[in-house]
């Protein structure tokens, strides 16, 4: 049992992080808080990916030590180096997440300019009011 926990506890903590982030995205009213949650959510996924590349038992960072030597290539042991692929993917994912955050913040500023608040329920109230004002229903007896 202990072994099982030791083998899995990492994953569970990632899942907890994801849940925190997801909850903030869905349940929080403040838009900045939603974005913070989004960041947490995305980093936890990145963490999950990165951890798939981990190898126990002496593997080191995926930078070859004997590069340049002609015979160095033969000496490369797969178990000596961490799996590089998740790292590659996650470099992209980090950039994607920051890009999303950037666009989201830009819309956030637009929203603030328009409504002078960042609380979702207040904005919704304002919008409902303005929509009711902007589109008067013409009562048409034939409709």
Which residues in 85-104 contact other proteins (CB under 8 A)? 85-104
Minimum CB separation of residue 76 from other proteins in Å reads 5
Q: 3-state SS string over 93-131?
A: HHHHHHHHHHHHHHHHHHHHHHHCCCEHHHHHHHHHHHH
Minimum CB separation of residue 93 from other proteins in Å reads 7
Minimum CB separation of residue 14 from other proteins in Å reads 8
Site for other proteins in 112-131 (CB under 8 A): 112-115, 117-119, 121, 123-124, 127, 130-131
Minimum CB separation of residue 1 from other proteins in Å reads 14
Distance of alpha carbon 76 from alpha carbon 92, whole angstroms? 27
Distance of alpha carbon 116 from alpha carbon 123, whole angstroms? 9
Site for other proteins in 21-80 (CB under 8 A): 21-43, 45-57, 59-65, 67-68, 72-73, 76, 78-79
Angle between helices 31-52 and 2-27 (to 10 degrees): 150
């Amino acid at each position: 049992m202990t072994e099982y926990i030791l083998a899995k506890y990492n994953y569970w903590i990632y899942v907890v992080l994801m849940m925190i982030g997801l909850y903030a995205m869905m349940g929080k009213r403040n838009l900045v808080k939603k974005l913070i949650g989004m960041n947490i959510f995305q980093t936890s996924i990145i963490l999950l990916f990165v951890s798939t590349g981990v190898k126990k038992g002496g593997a080191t960072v995926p930078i070859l030590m004997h590069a340049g030597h002609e015979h160095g290539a033969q000496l490369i042991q797969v178990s000596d180096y961490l799996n590089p692929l998740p790292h590659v993917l996650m470099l992209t994912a980090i950039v994607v997440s920051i890009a999303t955050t950037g666009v989201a913040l830009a819309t956030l500023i637009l929203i603030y300019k328009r409504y002078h608040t960042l609380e979702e329920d207040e904005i919704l109230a304002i919008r409902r009011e303005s929509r009711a004002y902007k589109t008067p229903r013409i009562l048409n007896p034939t409709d």
